[in-house]
Chain A
Amino acid sequence: EAGVVQSPRYKIIEKKQPVAFWCNPISGHNTLYWYRQNLGQGPELLIRYENEEAVDDSQLPKDRFSAERLKGVDSTLKIQPAELGDSAVYLCASSLLNTGELFFGEGSRLTVL
C-alpha cells in the first residue's frame, strides 16, 4: 500500500514568490496534518484536518499561508508571498484517527533565496 505522498520533494524560489505543496494521504485516513520542521528542531503543527474540515489551524500564519483539503482526500499548502524565514521542510502526515499513529510523507524541502 502506498504511503503518504508529497510533492515536490525540493523547491527553490526567490523571496516574495508563491509556492505550493501537495499531499496525498494514505487511503482511508481521515486526519491530515501539515507540519513545518526547521533544521535541528522537531516538527511543528501548522494545520490539522478532520476529513475536509480544518479543526486546528491556530499555528498557521494566515497572512501568507493557506491550505485546503477539498473532498477530504489530498491537500495543498500554499505560501504567498514566501519569506526567507519560510525555508524549512514541510511535512505532511495522516492518521486513521486523531489519536492514532501518524504516518509521515518524505517532506518538501523549501529554500527561499
Chain B
Amino acid sequence: KNQVEQSPQSLIILEGKNCTLQCNYTVSPFSNLRWYKQDTGRGPVSLTIMTFSENTKSNGRYTATLDADTKQSSLHITASQLSDSASYICVAPFYSGAGSYQLTFGKGTKLSVIP
C-alpha cells in the first residue's frame, strides 16, 4: 500500500530555534518527493520538490533531505520565525498506470512557533 507517514504530529518551538520534521514513505515506484506548507485556513503551497537523484535541496531557511535507500525525508527549518507556524505536508507521487501519477499525502506536522 502506498503510504506517507509524518512525525511528529505536532511540534511547539521557540522563535529563533531550529527544528526537523520527518517523513517516511512506502510509495512505489517513486519519482519525487514534495513538501508543502499550509497556513491555517489557506491552501497548501509548495516548498520543494526533490527528485530521486537529489539528496538535499534548500529553499531559504527550509532544507529538505532525501534518503531513497531508507525511504525517509526530512524538512529542517533554521532560525524559525512566527510566520513558520503552519502544517507541513509531505507528498509522494506513485505511478498509477497508463502514464498517470497519483499523489499520496501525509497527514502533516503542525508546527507552532511561539515568541
> Once A and B bind, how many residue pairs between them come within 8 Å at the CB atom?
50
For A40, the chain B residues whose CB sits under 8 A away are 107-108, 110
Residues of B at the A interface (CB closer than 8 Å) are 4, 31, 34, 41-46, 49, 89, 91, 93, 96, 99-103, 105-108, 110
Let me know if A82 is at the binding interface, CB within 8 A.
Answer: no
How far is the CB of B10 from the nearest CB of chain A, in Å?
9
Interface string of A14-56 (1 = CB under 8 A from B): 0000000000000000000000000011111100000000011
Q: Is the CB of B100 within 8 A of A104?
A: no
Measured between beta carbons, the chain B residues less than 8 angstroms from A105 are 43
Most chain A beta-carbon contacts within 10 A, residue among B31, B43, B46: B43
**CB within 8 Å for A99 and B49 given contacts A41-B107, A56-B102, A91-B43:** no
Structural contact, B43 and A106, CB atoms closer than 8 A = yes
With beta carbons under 8 angstroms apart, the residue of A4, A44, A98 that contacts B43 is A4
Contact of B46 among A56, A102, A106 (CB under 8 A): A102
Name A42's contact: one of B46, B49, B101, B107 (CB within 8 Å). Answer: B107
